[in-house]
Amino acid sequence: MLEGLFNEESDVGTTSSSTKNSPEGCKPSDSSLPPPRLPCGLAGIQNQGATCYMNALLQSLLYTPELRKALFQLDQTELGRLEDRSKPGAKVRVIPIQLQKLFARLLLVEKQCIGTQELTDSFGWTNNEELQQHDVQELNRILFSAIEDSLIGTSGQSLISQFYHGNIVNQIICDECGRISEREEDFLDLTLAVAGYAGVTDTLESYYVTKERMEGDNRYRCERCNKLVNASKGAKLRSLPQILTLSLLRFSYDFNRGQRYKEMGNYTFPLELDMSPYCEKTSSSDTSIYELFSVVIHGGSTHGGHYHAYIRDVDGLGTWTKPEDEPIQLPKKKDNTDSDPVGVIELNSPEEILALLLRQHGGPQCTMGIDELCQALCRETGVSWNKRFKKQHGPINKFIKQHNEMFTFATSTNSVSLKDSIISVNEKSSSGAENEAICKTVENSTGEQNHRNNSGNQDTRNDTGNEEVTGGAVEATNDAVASCDANNTSVGTNKGRGVLCCEKHRASGDRTLLQCAKCRAERTKSTNDLTSSRGKCWFDFNDARVHPITAKAIDRQFSGRESAYMLFYRSKSLYRPLEAQCNKLHGIPEWLLGEMQKENEMLEKQRLEYEAAINRIELVILQSHHYVYNRGALHPRPSLDSTPKKLGLDRRKTVEELITDIKMLLEDKGIGDDAICLHIGKQLPAGLHLFNSISEDMSATLQSLGLADGKQVFVWDGKQVDGMPIRTGEKCEPVLLNITFECHEKNISTNQQNGTKQIQHTFPKDCTLNEIRAMVSVLTDIPARCLLLSRVSSKPVVLETIDNAKTLEELKLCDHDSLVAEYQRDTGTSTSLAEQETEKQNKMVTFTVENRCAASLTATVDWPTQQVQIEHDKRIDELKLVILQKFNLAADKMMKRVCRLRVNHDTLGLQAPLYEEETISSAGLTQGTEIVLEPGRPPKNNQITLTFSAKSGELSLTHEVTVERNITVGECLQIFLERANISSDSYHLRRTNWCHEPAGVIVDVDATLEQENISNGDFLIIEEGRLAPRGFVFLSIWLYPSPDKGQNSPADQNGVVSKITTLLSGLLLSKETTNGHSDNDIISDDVTQGALLGEIEISLDATVEDLKIQILTLKPLDELTLPTTDFLRVRLIENKRLTKVLKEYDQPLKRLKVTRFTQIAVQVLPEEEELKANSIVLNIFQRIAQTRTYTPIEELTWEAGKAGNPDNLRQMIADRMLIPIERVAIAKHLPEKFEWLVINSTAQGSPSRGKGKKKGSRTHHVNLKHAPYHLKDGDLIGIKDLQFDSLNQDDFTTEDDDIGKEHLRLMAEEKRLKRREMKKNNSSWHEKGGGKGSKHKEKRPECSLAIHVDDFRTQAEQT
């Protein structure tokens, strides 16, 4: 009825809390390095899949100071050590130890979130329990019970009852004699109804103040009056716990509508609760006054939801800021190369966040839809616009329109983009370094973060909205803040990573805890100023994310889909010592501090290694004397080997260090001390161009200059290259344009087509249109006054003289744009050249071609590439010719015949070679397709290219062949075998799916490839094993010994059994000698061993009788003289065990579901056998008294009949074993589970519902052929004589069963670990089952919540 009640609603099976709250969870950055703590300084807990309910409860327990202190006080002498767990007789209390370690990690380890895998493993959760959502109230009770059971016999055995235990007394007071009848009951939490009540105090009033009258038919029988009397019934709280837990009953069931529902009405609860009115004895002290410190919240409905917790930081361990002032962290992109060791960027304003998201996810144009932008904001930061910014900045649409200096909003498409000026500013920096105007890199120092945040508190403390009781921002002097930060320093950190002490003792080199304690004692006076405000700050613990909230946020949890579900109150009389304030180290034992320090040191080491790795860049060093200046750009000097040198270094180095490294790399060749200048170079279509100088400030770091991996650095004197002055910078960036003009010469270059000529020329970006006209006039010999210049795109656009002052950049002319130069024409004349070129341009497609034929020409690793344009109606052979011309290979006639083209798909890789006779459009080539030119003859129209895989030893080799379309499958297989150098013919072909996984077997070897729908580019697999003709199968025949029937075994009159035994021994010995017990030759089962006789080819229409006759022709069975085939038993082998006996002699094999994968076992019998259809051949053995072993296995043929009566079987076994039937107990062995299923004579049934029949339960007889026994041929039946084992009647297990179960457990554990690893590394695993848009959400099956605890009671009793 309550199935799926607590399933997470937003994302079933995700590792984070929910999409809207914490989609990233604890997902590390691209390096899989865990991120550091958030600015608040508190750690979250990683969601294992659906463990948000557990995370919320664990955080509430951690920030219960009294429980945390008591748990840490339990030492290793009482709890044991985890490393001793495997020792015999060791009693290690794993759950408390893992809780100690988890709490210590949450307090001290420098991670944003901590995993709970070790803790859930200690719970005994090995069946993916972490993927099942449960009720947090249920977990609270079960976890407390597990802790109590784990601490039996220790000083902490009353730990839970000490803090959470209370008493309720139920009283009935007689009106006549005044006698009070009492019944006392204990509680760990008070369950309060929500429906029909206004709040907590209203429910408590109803439960523990209002009394029920017992009158009329409901009168009470008083023992003293000895009659029915009027009475009053009520309840009171006799004793109150130190920590009061209130569980709110939010979920109910509507029996009228037949469905679940959640109480979402308003239900208030106070921040301070006075329990004295509800107690048996009123008290004016603080013991009955409680302060709220934790609210566990359930968001969602009865069909799913998510848990998180609002918790008050009682000891002031975190750093509180105004929620709207809290900086937001975004993970960096993979190409981000900032020096931040954890790949995180910190931002403070919404415009910075939106700008960065547009740059990261908006593509080249930095454009995204509003919905996409909001989803990216939620996904990357864990906060939504409405929750974080709407109150202060308004709706996101309005905000974007207000900031039109940064954003452009398109109303028609509801999309937003960055202004070009913002994009261009950021493009000046490297692809990895973010512009400082947009964002700043996180300072990964806990101390610096705390100092910054506390400084911010001084400015915002009056605006938090927190009252004195609810907790406001921290007000403190600078000394007090410094004291708090010092005590709050994380273990094993330097500036928050690497120290155990404060700044004072870190400077002196003293790293002991003792000195820190003295330091804290010296600052007690300043710390006292904090006590009035510390401990009143609230935080939202939402799985991996923790962020500050105001007390007003609690009021929003009174009602709605997201509302309070559990309340934790702490007695106001509880005192916290001063040394515990702001001190995360307080009470943690030394051994845990050591472990945490080691873990932090390991994290620090990993972060340093990661920081060094991401700051390691490789620069390409270009030397000026290797280049010449030509056509507005730099080009390699043809006469020299201009292979650039590569220099690897740390980008945190300065320019001065870079110059030193360059001199060492180039061995000071041609480099003077006073004449060295470094510029960033970039290869453009026009050639190499130099952009900004990096040698002006010698103290600047390479990172600040935007130098990233692969950047080109040009070394020169800063004035000339090859005697030519060089312009540098972005403004004069060269742009390569195509110019087409009318040609009046008789003979021109090969580019002449239809009286036109096309040339390429380079112009600087700051060149004006007037200057372009002058240059084009010179190039085309068209006078400037007669020149008509047009731009060719989808239609010709004339460049008017009014735009002569505009630059190339303002005209938005880019590389490879086309200009048409022609004489001005009168209106109404023939079609202009620009219109002709436009028409031709619209027919053109552009391909990127990679020349892999160049392997024989150069030894370069990177294949040369070129952009090729051609009309889409041209043929592939014409395209190949153009490509060869582009790579200057057209003159080689042999190259035209021995090279071919193929498509290189982004995801599917290289496709089949293209047919040269088909056109570009019919081949499916579109704009931007990547084409590969490679050696090899192109296929003809009557050929197809196939790829196949053949296993050679341990390797699987892939080959490609071109075959005729009309050949048969068999002929194709022979070609494959020859190509793979396989001489055997015992192979067949198998298809594959789109990802090259094995699919169906190709059976018909006489069919053509076309008939089998094998087409060009298909991938096939060669598998070992010869296929039988259609309608036939190859069956492997195995010889097994004759069955042993014990005392009922017939006499071996003809010596057949002895011959078979001798024959089988010889076969097994020969197999052992030649093959070494190969699994392919010997099959082991619970009974014995069999040997392979050989293979037979038989029709599926043949009967079992035909199969027996053919088996007798195999050697050495042909030497046996058997009167009839009834001396032969044929049965199936399944999972290496003898199973079904083929009894229906006249049935065809296909009716018996015999396939080519079936293995047949044959047994020669000492006498004829004719089994009936209802006969079941069983294996039986008897358990030896007082042991876990059995007698040798015997065979029993049971005539089950239609009823399959177990009493019949038991009687037959009793007769065979000579045991009275009343002493016989039998059980079926389940080999897959290594368990035994006890066979009973009767089973309890459901109540009888027939009219006129007696109510109650009835029994029905069991049919052993049906559920749950499903008795069949080959099953193993264990037998016990109850006279010798009457106490353990149902125990049939053996030592082999124990070993098998342990093996299954290890396999399940391995599978669970693999799933966990898969869940970490593959994000698509989390989305299994569909997202929000799924029409039908997958529901998890119900499973009970349990925590498994070892038995410590026996040890405690002995002690």
User: Which of these is catalytic: 40, 52, 174, 537?
Assistant: 52
Burial class for 282, CB neighbours closer than 10 Å (0-12, 13-18, 19+)? exposed
Q: Let me know: does 251 contact 138? Beta carbons within 8 Å.
A: no
**Phi-psi group of 272: left, alpha or beta (phi > 0 → left; psi -120 to 50 → alpha; rest → beta):** beta
For residue 1285, which phi and psi values (nearest 5 degrees)? -150, 65
CA dist 694 → 626, 677, 678, 680, 721 (Å): 20, 8, 6, 7, 18
Structure tokens at 427: 């493009």
- How far is the C-alpha of 693 from the C-alpha of 474, rounded, in Å? 48
User: Which of these is catalytic: 134, 298, 306, 679?
Assistant: 306
3-state secondary structure of 166: strand
Whether 303 is catalytic: no
Count of positions (residues) in the chain: 1359
Adjacency order of strands within the sheet including 1224-1230: 1194-1199, 1175-1182, 1276-1281, 1224-1230, 1235-1238
**Phi-psi group of 348: left, alpha or beta (phi > 0 → left; psi -120 to 50 → alpha; rest → beta):** alpha
- How far is the C-alpha of 689 from the C-alpha of 684, rounded, in Å? 7
What is the C-alpha end-to-end distance of the chain, expressed in Å? 46
Per-residue three-class SS string for 455-517 = HHHHHHHHHCCCCCCCCCCCCCCHHHHHHHHHHCCCCCECCCCEECCCHHHHHHCCCCHHHHH
> Which residue's structure tokens are 């300084």?
41
CA dist 342 → 152, 332, 858 (Å): 44, 9, 41
- How far is the C-alpha of 1089 from the C-alpha of 1098, rounded, in Å? 25
Pair type for strands 415-418 and 367-369: antiparallel
Q: Is the dihedral of CA 379, 380, 384, 385 positive or negative?
A: negative
- How far is the C-alpha of 1284 from the C-alpha of 1278, rounded, in Å? 15
Q: Let me know: does 1021 contact 990? Beta carbons within 8 Å.
A: yes
Q: Let me know: does 910 contact 826? Beta carbons within 8 Å.
A: no
Structure tokens at 763: 């112009």
Report how many helices (DSSP H) and strands (DSSP E) the chain contains, helices first.
Answer: 33, 61
Question: From the centroid of its chain, how far is CA 1087?
Answer: 45
The rounded radius of gyration (Å) of the Cα atoms in the chain is: 42
Q: Let me know: does 334 contact 360? Beta carbons within 8 Å.
A: no
- How far is the C-alpha of 1043 from the C-alpha of 1128, rounded, in Å? 11
Whether 306 is catalytic: yes
DSSP 733: -
Pair type for strands 44-45 and 113-114: parallel
Active site residues: 52, 306
